[in-house]
Structure 1
Amino acid sequence: MNAMEWMQTLLISGLCVPSFCADYRRQHCLIETPKSWSDAQSYCRERGHDLATVDDMGAMKSLLGLSADRADDELWIGLHHGGPEEWHWSLADEEFYREGERDYRNFGAMDDTSRYVSHVHGKWKTVDHTHLWFVCYDGNRQGGGRYVFVKEVRSWTGAQQYCRSHHTDLVSIRNPEENQAVRDVIGPYDLMIGLFKDAWHWSDGRNSSFRHWEQDSFVGLFPQSCAAMTGKGPGRWSQRSCDELRPFLCTCTRRWVVKVKVRSEDIQELNDPATLKQTQKLLNEAALSNHHKVAWRTNSDGQVFTKEQCLEEEREQPQDLCNIE
């Protein structure tokens, strides 16, 4: 069996599922020495990391566990204000959206200075930071019941907090069918939805739309504004001057080293650069998310695969192909 036949067999047989064999997991670490936001960013980057990016409420709970002993402090995370304004959905879960669904829009009226969106008669319009009724999305319900009409007048951040506490999040609309379903639920009323525009960006360049602001705390920006999370309660964020000195959170990665044993008559073919590159590409495409990647580690002789003497009992009994160290 040549190298590429082995690779295809490996993926099809299920003997070695790549997502179990190689995994880069996002972790966070608390640095207690107070620094400005930019100095904190440099500190994390000098160590091969970056300031923490928060993708969802699961990551928030992880951060709160780290900061439990600093409940009275505010800690820098990787979010900072600056650069182009972009549209985002409040519901940040990557698995919720298929390709192109984040970009569905049905605007009828737009004002470039407005940052929030309401839904009326099936069309969307931009609105200022005003108080309106709103629509929640509930992922535990089916059909039209997923769209919950809330007849309470709240600001956009207040509506977001309500939806996350009682349902899943403010409603995202991914296609014309969902747009019609929301229209059927709300009738002729003008309600806020989960689309918003801001110029906040993550230090590591990730495009996470997750925001966890204290209600209306980011209105009226400092000349240089960065996000800090409190270590108590739900860990809400506030915008602060980037020059203030605060403890901070870095995002790190954990690397799993995997040994793969392959039976092949041609060790040179296995170590061929083109074969290694293609195998790595197949592994990364097969089962790993955007947060993971596979990389080869060479041995002392500069080769990835080295020849071992096989024992007779190894030939007779199937061996595990994955050993996670």
Structure 2
Amino acid sequence: MATIDDMGAMKSLLGLSADKAHDELWIGLHYGGHKEWRWSLADKDFYQEGGRKYRNFEGSSNAEMFVRQHNGKWYTGGISTKLFFICYDGNRKGGERYVLVSKAMSWTDAQVYCRSTHTDLVSIRNPEENQAVATAIDELNVWIGLFKYGEHWSDGRNSSFRHWSPDFGVLLPQNCAVMTGRTSGRWGQRSCDELHPFLCTCTRKRVLKVRLEDIQELNDPAMNTAILNQTQQLLNEATLSNHHKMVWKSNSEGQVFTKEQCQEDQEQEQDFCDTV
């Protein structure tokens, strides 16, 4: 069943299901029983060890499923609560990364807004960041990116992307998620025993070989990482999605770039070329 990672994937699915615009289509999200706190921004490279687990709750953390910050302390809030919120923008530096939006929204709508205009709702990984956010919002009461979930994707992936309809409550036991075209793809919940059309995720693996004139220094790990990251960014921008994964394929010696052995037709001798 389909796992949806971001708004780019949502737009692609809406295009594919245009002929079923009024149908409710199963996606791969279902109630899993175990509830835990998770940050909206799911990028694993964003968090150092222990960063995902930082918490600063004042009182009980079990009352509601979303989290707000006020004067540096965290409190829970409900689905119908509308507050100002603070986004994180990974393209900015220092305190400018924390963008206060002075428009009251539900947590789910705030999440969609931050993802479409910046990076995501803010994650807070340590006391220093918690204080920086408190400074950015002054004494306001705002949403941050922490939420409690009990739903899981059928393929086991950890996507924290959600696109619930505004009247969404809590995903109930025995319920699964549907995507509805008539509400711009917003999600709802239905009994998992109901019959609906469904969307599947198809994973494709492609190998791309690159031939270069000069491979000197290209096997340096830092250079490999820089090339891969830049290529990944270009692919994401071209497809409006970040659910592609690129990795280098190395030989038995751990090298990505190697000299290609080529045959000289006239001399029938082997030569070595600085190509890959």
TM-score, with length taken from structure 1: 0.61
Matched, 1:201 2:161: no
Q: Deviation of residue 69 (structure 1)? A: 2.5
Question: Any conservation in 2 of the 1:56–1:93 contact (CA below 8 Å)?
Answer: no
C-alpha change, 1:245 and 1:189, in structure 2 (3 Å) is same
Matched, 1:230 2:185: no
C-alpha change, 1:246 and 1:188, in structure 2 (3 Å) is same
Name the SS for the 1:108 alignment partner.
coil
2:270 equivalent among 296, 309, 315: 315
Q: Deviation of residue 77 (structure 1)? A: 0.9
Counterparts in 2 of 1:251-270, with a 5 A limit?
A: 251-256=201-206
User: What is the distance in 2 between the residues matched to 1:86 and 1:59?
Assistant: 25
Q: Give a deviation string over 1:25-81, Cα, whole Å, max 9, x none.
A: xxxxxxxxxxxxxxxxxxxxxxxxxx1111222322332232222222221111001
Question: Any conservation in 1 of the 2:54–2:125 contact (CA below 8 Å)?
Answer: yes
Q: Give a deviation string over 1:72-126, Cα, whole Å, max 9, x none.
A: 2221111001220011112233443344332222223223232111112212222
Q: How many residues align?
A: 233
TM-score, with length taken from structure 2: 0.71
* Identical-residue share of aligned pairs (%): 61
Counterparts in 2 of 1:280-291, with a 5 A limit?
A: none
Query: Whose Rg is larger?
Result: 1
Give the helix-richer structure, 1 or 2.
1
- Gaps in structure 1 of 5+ consecutive residues: 1-50, 260-286, 296-308
Q: Give a deviation string over 1:241-279, Cα, whole Å, max 9, x none.
A: 2122111111122233689xxxxxxxxxxxxxxxxxxxx
- AA aligned opposite 1:127: G
Which one scores higher on RCO, CA 8 angstroms, separation ≥ 6? 1
C-alpha change, 1:131 and 1:311, in structure 2 (3 Å) is closer
Match of 2:9 in 1: 59
Question: Any conservation in 1 of the 2:262–2:272 contact (CA below 8 Å)?
Answer: no
Question: Any conservation in 1 of the 2:179–2:187 contact (CA below 8 Å)?
Answer: yes
Name the SS for the 1:112 alignment partner.
coil
Counterparts in 2 of 1:1-325, with a 5 A limit?
A: 51-129=1-79, 130-217=81-168, 219=169, 221-231=171-181, 234-256=184-206, 311-312=263-264, 315-318=270-273, 321=276
Aligned CA RMSD, in angstroms, stands at: 3.3
